[in-house]
Amino acid sequence: MVVMVTGGARSGKSTFAERYAAHLGKRGIYVATSPVFDEELTQRVAIHQARRKNSSFPWETIEEQYDLAEKLQELAKRPDVLAGETVLLVDCLILWLSNWLVRDERQPDQARLLQKITELQQVISSFPGTLLLVTNEVGYGIVPEYALGRMFRDTAGMMNQRVAEVSEQVFLVTAGIPMEIKSKAFPFV
């Protein structure tokens, strides 16, 4: 089962996804995509880690900033994942996309980003276990002033649509409240 969890910044997406993972499996693998490059991010990561450490649900953390599709393919072969005992939680797709964009910042290539998204979408759509994907909604704000910002916003929107398309459930989290906007009972939505 593939579940997408989206919402604005600081909306409670990660907390909800972690709680939902604990409901769906016996243990979790937390795939972190964020690079840690300053003190503020170090503190955010520490808060996330402490929350997982202090929960009764056992977590294993794996960091993967770029090769997410390949990492998911590798993890999909684990017996505990295949048996449905271990839930994978990727946090966050937007940061993963940002990593690629910043990597190519001098010559951004939307076609390359879309290819990476296609590869990820293919892996997600055939994932044999339970997979939760956290992402941000970035299109609610103003139109970015710079071309790179507009490319990021547009590509992020396309990515979220494609991931939602292959997800059995999609939740929108607002003010810490999850709302199911695509149900496994109604997959045609």
- Residues marked active site are found at 48
Q: Which of 40, 14, 7 is nearest to 28 (CA)?
A: 14
Q: Which two tokens stand for residue 184?
A: 């496994």
At a CB cut-off of 8 Å and minimum separation 6, what does 48 contact?
14, 32, 91
Judging by beta carbons within 10 Å of its beta carbon (0-12, 13-18, 19+), is residue 92 exposed, middle or buried?
buried
**What are the beta bridge partners of residue 163?**
none
The continuous run of DSSP H or E covering 155 comes out as: helix 147-166
Cα dihedral 159/38/43/160 (nearest 10):
0
